Every structure is written in structure tokens, then in C-alpha cells.
Amino acid sequence: MRMYFLGLDGASAQIMFEFDLPNIKRLLGSCHYQTCMAEEQYPYTGPSWTSIYTGMSAEEHGVTDLWGRNVEGSESYDTLRDPVIWEMLGEAGMTTGVVHMPMTTCSRHVNGYIISGFPNELDHAGSAAELMPMLQARDISDLIRLTPRDRILDNTWYRKYSLDQSIDIMKEMVRRKAEAVRILVRTHPVDCLFVQYSMLDRIGHLLNQYLRLRDGADWTYEPLLELYAWLDGMLGDLLDVGEDYELLVITSDHGWPAEATQPYTHDGKVFGAWHSHDGVLVTRDLTSAGRVHVGRGRECYNRDVCPIVLHLLGLEYEGLRTNTNPQPRERARATVDADQTVEDRLRALGYI
Ligand SMILES: [Zn+2]
């Protein structure tokens, strides 16, 4: 059985399941769908996606930082001691393609290919039409890795574009990425394809950033719901990757509130809204095996996603988790020291 796993960072169960989104509604009519909760303490991208990848709680896998960085005792994707789902699939003999799944880097073995990271920066010299999402969109994973610990991320691109321009650029990135994925599938066929799009999460944060720029004046929340409506219209393009996959999985790491009428202040910062806990898990089985019961299911946790997905693929989570050897921690730790200059490095290697 082949699987297409579509990640939608920040897709909210309340909006996806209850709002008037005709194409999503039609899709849900042939799927099992359930609210997929982020843990109470960690409704964040880093911990929550890691729970989805590993089938473990944040306490077990140790990634507790918002962005999954190695700070304040948090593990990262690179140092994680537990196998992630594409490593387990590799152990089971399946090939995988992994595209823009949040926090991923090239540090771990994939039986197939990985285009790592989580593009979100829109900083580029040319017009939106010149954006090539796979290559030129700056990757937040790289930014997080490369930004010195004592500095904050250069997250100021929203000062260069109006809200409307930013939204247009995001849409353009989604369209081009969907096209690029179609090419990838043709040129590099795999058993299991993982692709993630971040626009539903980005729009929430974007609105907060523009809100701060204008000190809360003329704030509007509609663009968030409008982007869900736009995504609904794009759903066919996101799902049709040019190849048939028998198992479809759509999931998100957390949600975003469906409405926010009053901006609020937290820690001296103005917020329009912030992550909610209700992510989604949607599954559809097109084989005759009928592993998926159509209709709304019980609420689950993000750590349930990995065991559920492996089960639907006819695989067993516990066995694979035990038998899959993730990249040894020591090797992952021996990456390039950010404090070492290239000259230092060449000297250490005896070249200077
Ligand atoms: Zn997220």
C-alpha cells in the first residue's frame, strides 16, 4: 500500500470540520476524521510535529522548544534518540520522500529523499513571480540552526510587504510547490510521500505581526478564514500529486482559533490570536481492506498519529520503534561547531 501524507501546519479542527468549506466537506465524506490534540503544555510546532513523527509524548522524546531547537534542555530533530516515522518505514523496506516537514534536516537517514525544513521566510530580491519555493524561500529550520543563540531570528520581512502582498506570495509558493511536487513524484517515485504546507500557520502569525506594526489599528481577522477558503479551492491541486496513493493522511500539529475579536497582550506583546490545541487527523483508505471507518472519530493526541498511520499501512508500531536504529546521538552531535570559523576548521584539518 502506498501513502500520501499531507501535513498542514496549524490547520484547526474547528475550522476544517465545521466551517463552510465545500471541497474539504466532500473529502471528509469519504474519510475518517478526528480532532488531533496537541499536548496541553506544548501546542507548538517543534514538540507537536516530533510527537507526530515518533508516536511519543514530548516528555518521552524530549523536544520541548517551540521550534525544536537545542535550547533550554530541549532535544532537536538532529539529536532525537528515537526513530521517526520515515526511519521506521525504511526499516519496513518502504521508500519515502519527505518534503518540508517541519524541523527536519538532512542529518538522519531516509530511504529515499528529503527536502528538509520548513520554508517561511519571504525575503528575496525579486518579484513574487521569481520565487522558487524549493530553493529560494528561506527555510526557517536553517534560520533557527544558523542564528547565533544570543540573537533573535531575522523575522522582519513583513516590514517590506503589505499584508496583501505577503498573502499573495504565500499563495504563489503553495501553487509552485504543488507543481514541483508533481514533478518530484514523476522523477522520484516513492512508496510514502510526506509533504507539508505551512500557510495556515503563517497567516495567523502574519496577522499578529501586522497587528503589532500598526499597534492594533484597523485589525481584521478575516484574512485567516479567507485563506482556509482559498485552500479549499486549492485542495484538488494539493491532493492530486500526479500519482495514486491508496492511503491518504492529512494531519496538523496544532490549530488556530476560528475567531479573535479582541487583540490581547501577553508579556508586553500584542497578539491577535495564538495556537489552539485542536489539530486534525484525516485518513482515507482507497483499498478494499477497509481499515478506515468513514465518519468522525474520537479525539486523539498527536502522539497517536504515528501508530495509527503504521497500522493503516499494515505495519506494527511497537516492533518498528524497537528495531529501528535511529542515527546515533554521538554522530548527530558531531556536526559543525557554529563557533568555529572555516579557517579554524581548515587549521584543525592540517590545511593551514
Ligand atoms: Zn505549527
pLDDT higher than 90, residue 27: yes
Spacing, Cα 231 to ligand 1 middle (Å): 17
- Tell me which of 127-136, 142-151, 272-281 is least confident: 127-136
pLDDT in tens, 153-176: 445 556 667 788 878 878 887 888
Q: Are 123 and 157 within 8 A, CB to CB?
A: yes
Distance 46 CA to ligand 1 centre (A): 7
Confidence (pLDDT) at 121: 40
| Mean pLDDT, residues 99-122 | 79
Q: Give the distance (Å) from ligand 1 centre to CA of residue 223.
A: 18
pLDDT at 161: 73
CB-based burial of residue 135 (10 Å sphere; 0-12 exposed, 13-18 middle, 19+ buried)? Answer: exposed
CA of 258 to the centre of ligand 1 (A): 16
Confidence of residue 216 (pLDDT cuts 50, 70, 90): confident
Distance from the CA of 346 to the center of ligand 1, in angstroms? Answer: 39
- The answer to whether 169 and 161 have CB atoms below 8 angstroms apart is yes
* Max CA pair span of the chain: 66
What span, in angstroms and rounded, lies between the C-alpha atoms of 69 and 61? 13
56 pLDDT higher than 90: yes
Q: How far apart are CA 178 and CA 167, in angstroms?
A: 17
CA of 269 relative to ligand 1 center, distance in Å: 20
Distance 235 CA to ligand 1 centre (A): 20
**Which residues are paired to 269 by β-bridges?**
266
Higher pLDDT, 33 or 202: 33
Return the closest-CA partner of residue 83 out of 345, 299, 318, 244: 318
Which phi and psi (to 5°) does residue 176 adopt?
Answer: -70, -35
CA 44 to ligand 1 centroid distance, Å: 6
Q: How far is CA 143 from CA 117, 147, 152, in A?
A: 10, 6, 10
Tell me how far the alpha carbon of residue 283 is from its chain's centroid: 17
Mean pLDDT, rounded, for 261-281: 89
pLDDT higher for 167 or 290?
Answer: 167
d(CA 92, CA 309): 13
Distance 320 CA to ligand 1 centre (A): 26
Residues less than 5 Å from ion ligand 1, measured at CB: 9-10, 45, 201, 253
Question: Ligand 1 centre from 37 Cα, in Å?
Answer: 12
Contact 169, 128 (CB under 8 A): yes
Q: How far is the C-alpha of 64 from the C-alpha of 48, rounded, in Å?
A: 9
Query: What fold is seen in the domain 3-348?
Result: Alkaline Phosphatase, subunit A (3.40.720)
